[in-house]
Chain A
Amino acid sequence: MTQMFPLTLSKVLVRRSGKVVIGPTDLVLDAGGPTIIIGPNGAGKTTLLRVMHGIERVTSGAVTWHHDDTAQHAFVFQSPIVLRRSAADNLAYPLRLLGYPKAEIAQAVDHWLNRIGLTERAGSPATRLSGGERQKLAIARALIRKPQVLFLDEPCANLDGHTTREIEALLQETSAAGTRLVMSTHDMGQARRLAQELIFVLHGKVHDVSNADVAFTRPQTKELAAFLRGDIVT
């Protein structure tokens, strides 16, 4: 497996309708444990993730992987996008795109349906699943391709505690299996539970990158300290 990291963002600027959404900002992501992106609403967390994944065009600057292979990174959106197909067909879809043999697809689909507890609903239309089930399906669909990197944009937003716990367990298992997780969240408890590295985004710029233990115990900037305290940071 070719090493994709480091991922380097150099003077990245994203402008939409004349308004700067991100940057100019720099960031270097190395291989390692889960990276959690935190920051106030509208700080640019989602855009930063989309830029890293390559689905958001940058106005200027550069996003450089050590070795880029788009088939090796996947994205999970905050509002899960499910295809108007059955749950099983949603899982099979990325593998069909990659031309996997039918038997291999069926095996992988069965495995993931079982892993996310949707075996009984394999034939159900994905649009009829609950929000939590859809998000688990979206994560499984991203993971079925065995990506080296998984970007997640607030995957547990608006989900109940039980589903959040299930998703966190799945993500921890995924990380332990070697997939690099880069995820944004609003939930500081979740950030504490999952993060090895913390990125604090403020006003469209990467304000701080630090080890999660250090960030939570000895935040290096007063803005991060205030945000972690629960203050409103503007």
Chain B
Amino acid sequence: MVDILDGLIAAFWLVVTFDAELWDISLRSLRVTLTALVIASVIAIPLGTFLAVQRFRYRRFVISMINALMGLPPVVVGLVVYILLSRSGPFGVLDLLFTPTAMIIAQVIIITPVIASIAHQSMRELWAEYHDLLISLNTTKRQRIMTLIWDGRRNLLTAALAGFGRAIGEVGAIMIVGGNIDNVTRVLTTAIALETGKGDFALALGLGFVLIGLAIFVNLAIHTLSQTEREGRW
């Protein structure tokens, strides 16, 4: 209980004193996560929508695989990305290991199935509602997908936010591929792991509260900007 109270006080002081390191780590966390989120959304949203409208031979298998990949262990993703990006790996020449780019790659792999799966579920329901009309209007496949994405954008936002939640709190993979290097790849989650290892629970908790606050702030900001709950809009 004392640790939690100390953590709250530490978090309060870190924020009110505009602690430079905290800002640096927080901004890096946001930069990495939001970049991964944008890339994953660009891949996952059209993919989930395509799977909702298109019938093909191995469709069920692909959907099952995406659903299964939602539970992908981050540590394993980190390990695989590490091997691929290490000097002896196929992409070693790119020299990306222990950089924020490597962390983004790992996060994209982890959250793409999450966003795709949730997007597919909501797009499937919308497609059932729109199917007859869009077929009747003789729409092309592309027009159907674009219509569903536009009209289902608020559901898709929820899918993206689920991906954001998964990415911002991720530690295993980015620790492996980022290396938790001070001023380079250290983010909130890896900093918390480090401070916990050092026994500085108050600071670790403080960083934890900042992380939670950041996640809430981003969610609220996105909801407010997209006017999700505004009356008369979708």
Contacts and interface: CB of A to CB of B under 8 A. Distances in A.
Asked if A and B are interacting partners, one says: yes
Interface of A: 53, 55, 70-71, 74-75, 77, 81, 83-85, 93-94, 97, 123-125, 128
A97 B143 contact: yes
Contacts of A83: 130, 133, 147, 151
Contacts of A81: 129-130, 132-133
A97 B139 contact: yes
Given A71-B138, A81-B130, 16 more contacts: A53-B136, A55-B132, A55-B136, A74-B136, A75-B132, A77-B133, A81-B132, A83-B133, A83-B147, A84-B152, A84-B234, A85-B234, A93-B137, A93-B147, A123-B232, A125-B232
Contacts of B232: 123-125, 128
A71 B137 CA distance: 7
23 contacts: A53-B136, A55-B132, A55-B135, A55-B136, A71-B138, A74-B137, A75-B132, A77-B132, A77-B136, A81-B129, A81-B130, A81-B132, A81-B133, A83-B130, A83-B147, A84-B151, A84-B234, A85-B234, A97-B139, A97-B143, A123-B232, A124-B232, A125-B232
Contacts of A71: 138
Residue in B133, B139, B151, B152 whose Cβ sees the most chain A Cβ within 10 Å: B133
Chain A contact residues, majority secondary structure = mixed
A55 B136 CA distance: 6
Nearest to A94: B137
Nearest to B233: A125
Nearest to A142: B136
B133 A97 contact: no
A81 B128 CA distance: 11
Contacts of B137: 74, 93-94, 97
A97 B126 CA distance: 19
A125 B139 contact: no
Interface of B: 126, 129-130, 132-133, 135-139, 143, 147, 151-152, 232-234
Q: For the complex of A and B, list the 4 residue pairs with the smallest distance between their C-beta atoms, beginning with the closest.
A: A81-B133, A75-B136, A70-B138, A84-B151
A133 B215 CA distance: 42
Contacts of A93: 137, 147
Nearest to B154: A84
A43 B133 CA distance: 23
A84 B147 CA distance: 10
A53 B133 CA distance: 12
Contacts of A53: 136
A198 B152 CA distance: 41
A81 B126 CA distance: 11
B148 to A, nearest CB: 10
Residue in A74, A97, A125 whose Cβ sees the most chain B Cβ within 10 Å: A97
Nearest to B136: A75
A214 B176 CA distance: 84
Contacts of A123: 232
Contacts of B152: 84
Contacts of A124: 232
Contacts of B233: 125
A85 B151 contact: yes
A83 B132 CA distance: 12
A35 B30 CA distance: 63
A84 B139 CA distance: 17
Nearest to A128: B232
A70 B134 CA distance: 13
A124 B129 CA distance: 20
A84 B150 CA distance: 9
Nearest to A69: B138
Nearest to A77: B132
B183 to A, nearest CB: 47
A81 B132 CA distance: 8
Nearest to A50: B132
A72 to B, nearest CB: 10
A77 B137 CA distance: 12
Nearest to B150: A85
B155 to A, nearest CB: 10
